Amino acid sequence: MTSLDIQISVEEGEWPSEDALQPFCEGVLEKAAAFIAQEEKQPFPEMPTEVSLVFTDDASIREINAEWRSIDKPTNVLSFPAFPVLPGKMPGPMLGDIILARETIERESVDLGKPFDEHLTHLLVHGFLHLFGYDHIDEGDAERMEGLETRILAHLGLSDPYGDSDPV
């Protein structure tokens, strides 16, 4: 079973209301969870596992990025797993937090020539996979994570976000 308990908080920025974001995010993350459960044999707890989504702006995410990663600049998405977990291992009752920055995501979607909602979908999936222990620090891990993202997005009807680029 892949049931999620998705908690949404709009803290800063020009985001839609929490009520408007809830069905969009549930649709993306429930499908991503079902995909990794089936295709990657990712186990899930019997009870719904909690994911916290925080929607904010560049100023706020810059502070968080500086404090937790020592990188003093805004970024598109940050993920903070509640407990360490490796891909394919059972997560705890709380997966963790995904924080998204409006202005950075808007800039990137324009630069990429993609609709905002498509880029947001990609970043939700990207952040979600980080909560399961996927990462892109080295080339092998990046290829695995980006390949999985691409397959999930294809399952959602979206194109490969990496195209012909090298893994990052």
Q: Considering its fold, how many domains does the chain have in total?
A: 1
| 162 is a domain residue | no
pTM: 0.93
Tokens of 19: 């009520």
14-52 burial, b at 16+ Cβ within 10 Å, e below that, comes to ebeeeeebeeebeebbebbbbbbeeebebebbeeebbbb
Please give the DSSP secondary-structure letter assigned to residue 166: P
Mean pLDDT over the full length of the chain = 92
| 103 is a domain residue | yes
Q: Residue 161 has what pLDDT?
A: 84
Please give the share of the chain, as a percent, with pLDDT higher than 70. Answer: 96
| 166 is a domain residue | no
Give residue 47's Cα distance to chain centre.
21
| 164 is a domain residue | no
| pLDDT category of residue 80 using cuts at 50, 70 and 90 | very high
| 40 is a domain residue | yes
Q: Residue 141 has what pLDDT?
A: 80
| 18 is a domain residue | yes
Q: What is the pLDDT of residues 83-117, one digit of tens each?
A: 999 999 999 899 999 999 999 999 999 999 999 99
Q: What are phi and psi of 166, to 5 degrees?
A: -75, 155
| 160 is a domain residue | no
Query: Which residue range forms the structural domain that includes residue 52?
Result: 4-155
| 44 is a domain residue | yes
- State the pairing for strand pair 77-81/94-101: antiparallel
Q: Residue 31 has what pLDDT?
A: 96
Give the Cα separation of 49 and 93 in Å (integer).
Answer: 5
CATH number at residue 95: 3.40.390.30
Does residue 166 register a pLDDT over 80?
A: no
| pLDDT category of residue 137 using cuts at 50, 70 and 90 | confident
